[in-house]
Amino acid sequence: MSVRVAIVGLGWAGRELWLPLLREHADFDVVAVTDTEPAARAAFDRALGIPVHATVDALTPRTVDLAVVAVPNFLHAEVAANLLARGISVFLEKPVCLTSDEADTLAAAERAGGATLLAGSAAPYRSDVGALAQLVPDLGHIRHIDLSWVRARGIPKAGGWFTQRSKAGGGVLFDLGWHLLDTLASLLGPSRFTQVVGVTANDFVNMGSWSAAWRQDQPAADAGGDVEDTARGFFVREDGVSVALHASWASHEARDVSTIQVVGSAGTAELRCTFGFSPNRQPQSVLTLTREGTTTTLPVPDEPIGNEYRRQLDGLAGILRDPASRGRSIAEARTTVRVIEDFYASARSVRARSVVPA
């Protein structure tokens, strides 16, 4: 039996990503969409035969099994908690919440409504990340991981909500950094962080020429960005593994490159690829294994751009039906948002001309 889905929010993610993916997937039946903006509702293709509502109040547990919430960051917790408390399960892409207090709100709503919050990033579902994960058990004791996602030019809609702290919670750390932290957890399992040091910078965020061209966004004229476009940090997990993280919306590099290096007592594995939808990508994913001075390049499955989102949906219906899933996403989100809060607290403690107060 198909899962009846409502898509909440008809921005880029809801309209261009989740709507077509869910409609083509055999496990799901899109039965409604909602958006509070009249212009978004008017632009929706009603020829699809899907009811369009102005608010989520039109959704009920009798008609909807799952709501895919694709609204701006600052509305994630409010909208998801409303649905959960009324007994409608929710899928939230990153960031699940912007503060630890919002995580508490979501947990309380999940308990009150008896529904389930599902969440997660698509990056761990990439086939090349899966190939890297298969190497991890043979690397011995894992000592360190380097996580990096650096775009050449990729600031989302300069002046829009993505670059306003009051609406996005933060900048690139909440956007690309959450994907990297989710990927870390998928490779090593969840763990709290006992030490967090971070710095931020905003060298590019208010320069329209560094925007994400593939999004085809028009720069907003009403506000400048007050978030970081670059975040660099060093963490220590409770299990003793050290983690270096570098996330940048823009840089002086020629291509958008994502790198994951896993250092173990028995070898080092490294993946170089490009996460996301940018056309300015690495020509192909490259996975290497280095042992005792010898580096071997390993085969990596080839897949279309964005296929990780399809793969993420493949197991979602089963996770939704598993009672053990309830509470799991909240626990994972607590760990992630806590390390982000600690990162920004560390960045605020730095007083340097080139560093952005987080």
Which CATH number does the domain housing residue 16 bear?
3.40.50.720
The Cα–Cα gap between 200 and 350 comes to: 9
| Residue 257 three-state SS | strand
β-bridge mates for residue 198, sequence order? 233
Same domain, 132 and 97: no
Residues 131 and 116 in one domain: no
Rounded CA gap, 144 and 344, in Å? 22
Are 176 and 216 part of one and the same domain?
A: yes
Residues counted in the chain: 358
Instruction: Report the chain (358 residues): mean pLDDT per 10 consecutive residues.
Output: 96 93 97 95 90 96 97 96 98 95 97 95 96 98 98 82 92 97 97 97 86 60 79 98 98 96 98 95 96 97 94 95 95 96 94 54
Q: Which of helix, strand or coil describes residue 322?
A: coil
Quick one: pLDDT at residue 7?
98
130 is a domain residue: yes
The per-residue pLDDT for 134 is 98
* Residues 172, 56, 336: CA angle, nearest 5 degrees: 30
Residue 180 lies in a domain: yes
DSSP state of 316: H
Domain with residue 174: its CATH number is 3.30.360.10
Do 266 and 140 form a contact (C-beta atoms < 8 A)? Answer: yes
**Residue where the block lists tokens 């039109």:** 58
Q: Which of 291, 239, 244, 295 is nearest to 264 (CA)?
A: 291
User: What DSSP element (H or E) covers 321?
Assistant: helix 316-321
What local confidence, expressed as pLDDT, does residue 353 receive?
47
Is 326 part of any domain? no
The residue assigned the tokens 């409504």 is: 113
Residue 47 has a pLDDT of: 84
Q: Which domain holds residue 36?
A: 3-122
Decide which of 92, 122, 152 is a domain's last residue. 122
Residue 316 is assigned to a structural domain of this protein: no
SS3 (DSSP) at 325 = helix
Q: Do 66 and 164 share a structural domain?
A: no
As for how many domains the chain has, the answer is 2
Q: Is 328 inside any structural domain?
A: no
The tokens for 231 are: 């975040």
269 falls within a domain: yes
- Do 110 and 205 lie in a common domain? no
What is the token pair recorded at 92?
């939230």
Tokens representing residue 95 in the block = 């960031």
Q: Does residue 158 sit in the same domain as residue 304?
A: yes
Please tell me the distance from the alpha carbon of residue 95 to that of residue 76, in angstroms, as a whole number: 8
Residues 151 and 294 in one domain: yes
- On whether both 148 and 8 belong to a single domain, the answer is no
Q: Do 186 and 276 sit in the same domain of this protein?
A: yes
Same domain, 155 and 99: no
* Domain end (from 89, 122, 155): 122
Residue 321 maps to a domain: no
149 and 290, same structural domain? yes
**Among residues 100, 122, 144, which one ends one of the domains?**
122
pTM of the model: 0.93
Question: What element of type H or E holds 303?
Answer: none
Asked whether residue 172 falls in the same domain as residue 216, the answer is yes
Is residue 322 a part of any domain in this protein? Answer: no
- Quick one: pLDDT at residue 215? 56
